[in-house]
Chains A and B, each alone.
Chain A
Amino acid sequence: MGIDRSFLEKPVSEMTPDEYRLMILEPEKDTDHICWNCRHFKPVIKNSNFPPADIIGWCKKIHWPFYWCIPEHRIVKKCYAYEPIK
């Protein structure tokens, strides 16, 4: 993974709530988006067949009150709304 997800190595007792949530929501995709480490990100979870094939998840923030479908092949490297997970 291009983005730091090393928290997954930690035991659960040391994870923060955000980290724990991201562990539960095991994602389908693996990309270099900055979104993976952002609080406003909601990933497409593994083996869910319903969403379009070419998105990694949704952003709950930048288009509120809408979800923005984050395209897989448009790698977001910088975002004004980025807030790192705690």
Chain B
Amino acid sequence: MCDIIWCKKVKEDGTVCNTVNYLDPFNFWNWEGTIACAECGTVYYIHMIQGWMYRGPEEQPPGTKPDILPVYADKPLEGYVRYRPGVEGRTRPYLCLPRDIYLGVPDPRRFSIRGYPVRGWPNQPPSTGIAGSAGFKWEIEKLSPEVWQEFLEKKKKGEVRDW
């Protein structure tokens, strides 16, 4: 279940805001406070009980500070223009957003955070023997000499640490 605030505020230029602000149930299941429209910033008071709108949305006077922002918003009458989660000042900061380094695509690494080599990039040169059997040493000097060189450089520059 997800309730919405369909903002019908008439803007200064005479057009209607017509933005649908989504209220996700995990935050708004039992919730009372003020929330701003993602498009025009109009602040509404709402009181939700067990996922239902008990009071509101009631428009608040301009200048009221909102307690929270909608999780995301869109404009269905205008070809679904969207405000995705975490748009600053418009939708709620998405605190569980995976770290900025998690990109959803492979992010090949050659070195650990302390600077030692990690076999973390694809298309490694073949290194196994009969029936895929492998030794107990990554012969990096032989297999990936350029990474080994890079490591030696790093070491020289003091970029390789114990921790």
Contact = CB atoms under 8 A, between A and B. Distances in A.
- Interface size classification for chain A: under 10
A15 B54 CA distance: 9
Q: Is the interface of B mostly helix, strand, loop or mixed?
A: strand
A82 interface: no
Contacts of B52: 20, 24
Interface in A16-40: 17, 20-21, 24-25
Nearest to B30: A21
Q: Is the interface of A mostly helix, strand, loop or mixed?
A: helix
B50 A24 contact: yes
Interface in B3-24: none
Interface string A2-20: 0000000000100101001
B63 to A, nearest CB: 27
A17 B50 CA distance: 10
A21 B53 CA distance: 11
Interface string B32-59: 0000000000000001011110100000
A12 B50 CA distance: 15
Contacts of A17: 47, 49, 54
Interface of A: 12, 15, 17, 20-21, 24-25
Interface of B: 47, 49-52, 54
15 contacts: A12-B54, A15-B54, A17-B47, A17-B49, A17-B54, A20-B49, A20-B52, A20-B54, A21-B49, A21-B50, A24-B49, A24-B50, A24-B51, A24-B52, A25-B50
